[in-house]
Structure 1
């Protein structure tokens, strides 16, 4: 079925398993469905994984919330320009252009090839 639309406008939307999140003008994240509330702050991007989500704050710091069974919601330190959450892992692009991935490493998803 289709849910009732939230009022107001969004600048970005993303959907995971049984939940969705969006960024409001001004950078606040709002989520609905089966996911924990996002951390406070203002954000420039958000990505939904299976049961976790990650976002980049306006200062470049990544924040994640939700299921963390494989470490997919525990980002490394540093600043990022974007993040992409998947089933049991997350990858992000650092401000220096390199890629970092974290979470379930069992199938090589977090093993970034040299030079990336």
Structure 2
């Protein structure tokens, strides 16, 4: 096999792998960006301490918008707050979800400690 054919075959493989990996990298990087934006927003703008936040997780969803972040606070482990962070300076709490375990406790919106009504 000639050197030119080897270079062409290697080039085709590298390009193919790059095309296959691109969507996966896009999703992973955007999830990290949303995680970072929301964490920074909660700490810097809303005044939460790192110890008060149990987790912030960037999520890629099927519905629109495709990316958002789910936040769980340590004092409310049964509630998942959904935040949108499409633009760095425009982060907002969109909704909340009560986990199956806590639905048995009959928790209402007024019981939520970190709920921010939409403006």
TM-score normalised per structure 1: 0.28
More strand by share: 1
Look at both structures and tell me which one has the larger radius of gyration over its CA atoms: 2
More helix by share: 2
